[in-house]
């Protein structure tokens, strides 16, 4: 767990350093502050309202102890084990097996699962999946991803600022070749770092979920099943809103991720390997 947090911290430091370098190169100190303000305002709004927005995108329906039955009771038990406030619980009428957590903090959290995942997995595997989602809540990963998105968005804003207004540091005439390179490469680099942060947080949630449920093998089994079925079962809401893909426990997009750097999720095979290693060590 410490290794994942250290990796996330270093990646966050890298994206902030990239923002500073790009800001000074394209817009100077003033341009850098404007871009950060714009990006921060947009993502602050998203931070406070993202749960409502995402749940609405997926037509999620909230359930309670009466309507949610065994699934609601399972989430309630895991929340107690994790020492978390009871999150709101939602079900999404989609055939693709998947799940996600949202909310700005543990006191305003929500977890959602598709009808596909509830029909595919057994109770033990569902516990593993929902423990993973509650680990995201406990680790405040929504905050981490929002901060990363703020800086990445600010870098893209700076690149656009330089493209349309010429940029230049403190009135100096910029090198046009260097300027074009920055405009193209800086947003790409920011996106790659943001994706790396997302992958690191997935590993952290896998481990945290294994600790909450006490059953790493159940989550490993669930991930293998979800990966196999999700590939052949499109999720229309995710295809319409691909920016939400990183929230899911497994990539929901039919096109899949590009290999390596462009993955929004770690390779499922590696996640399973790490979980089985935790099981062997009795975690």
Q: What is the pLDDT of residues 102-146, one digit of tens each?
A: 888 899 999 999 999 999 999 999 999 999 999 999 988 876 766
Separate counts of helices (H) and strands (E) for the chain: 10, 4
Q: Annotated catalytic residue: which of 125, 133, 202, 217?
A: 133
- Pick the closest to residue 21 from 151, 208, 194, 163 (CA basis): 151
Contact assessment for residue 161 and residue 111, using Cβ atoms and an 8 Å cutoff? no
Partner residues linked to 5 by β-bridges: none
pLDDT at 135: 96
pLDDT score at 122: 98
CA 192 – CA 180 distance, rounded (Å): 19
What is the pLDDT, as a whole number, of residue 38? 67
Across the chain, the runs of DSSP E, i.e. the strands, are 61-63, 88-92, 99-102, 110-114
Residues in the chain predicted with pLDDT less than 50, given as ranges, are 2, 169-170, 258-260
Write the pLDDT tens digit of every residue in 22-60.
Answer: 666 666 677 667 666 766 676 677 667 778 888 998 999
Q: What 3-state DSSP class applies to 10?
A: helix
Burial class (CB in 10 A: 0-12, 13-18, 19+), 66: exposed
Burial of residue 20 (CB within 10 Å: 0-12, 13-18, 19+) is: middle
Per-residue pLDDT, 232: 84
Known catalytic membership, residue 62: no
| Cα–chain center distance at 198 | 5
Could you give the domains of the chain?
Answer: 58-149+176-280 (3.30.2010.10)
The pLDDT of residue 197 is 73
Long-range Cβ contact pairs of 59-67 (< 8 A, separation 24 or more): 59/92, 59/93, 59/237, 60/90, 60/91, 60/92, 60/112, 61/90, 61/91, 61/92, 61/93, 62/88, 62/89, 62/90, 63/89, 63/90, 63/91, 64/89
pLDDT at 98: 97
């Amino acid at each position: 767990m410490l290794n994942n947090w250290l990796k996330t911290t270093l990646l966050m430091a890298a994206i902030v350093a990239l923002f500073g370098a790009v800001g000074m190169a394209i817009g100077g100190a003033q341009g850098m502050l404007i871009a950060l303000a714009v990006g921060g305002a947009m993502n602050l709004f998203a931070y406070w309202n993202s749960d409502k927005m995402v749940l609405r995108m997926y037509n999620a329906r909230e359930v309670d102890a009466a309507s949610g039955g065994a699934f609601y009771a399972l989430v309630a038990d895991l929340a107690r084990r994790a020492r978390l406030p009871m999150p709101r619980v939602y079900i999404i009428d989609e055939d693709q097996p998947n799940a996600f957590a949202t909310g700005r903090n543990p006191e305003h959290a929500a977890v959602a699962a598709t009808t596909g995942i509830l029909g595919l997995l057994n109770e033990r595997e569902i516990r593993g999946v929902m423990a993973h989602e509650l680990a995201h809540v406990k680790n405040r990963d929504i905050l981490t991803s929002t901060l990363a998105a703020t800086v990445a968005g600010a870098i893209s804003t700076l690149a656009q600022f330089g493209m349309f207004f010429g940029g230049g540091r403190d009135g100096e005439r910029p090198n046009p070749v260097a300027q074009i390179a920055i405009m193209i490469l800086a947003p790409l680099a920011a996106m790659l770092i943001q994706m790396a942060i997302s992958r690191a947080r997935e590993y952290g949630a896998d481990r945290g979920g294994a600790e909450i449920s006490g059953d790493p093998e159940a989550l490993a089994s669930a991930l293998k099943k979800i990966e196999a079925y999700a590939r052949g079962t499109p999720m229309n809401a995710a295809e319409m809103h691909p920016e939400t893909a990183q929230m899911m426990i497994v990539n929901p997009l039919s096109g899949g991720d590009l290999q390596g750097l462009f993955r929004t999720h770690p390779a499922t095979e590696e996640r399973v390997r790490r979980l089985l290693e935790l099981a062997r060590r009795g975690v």
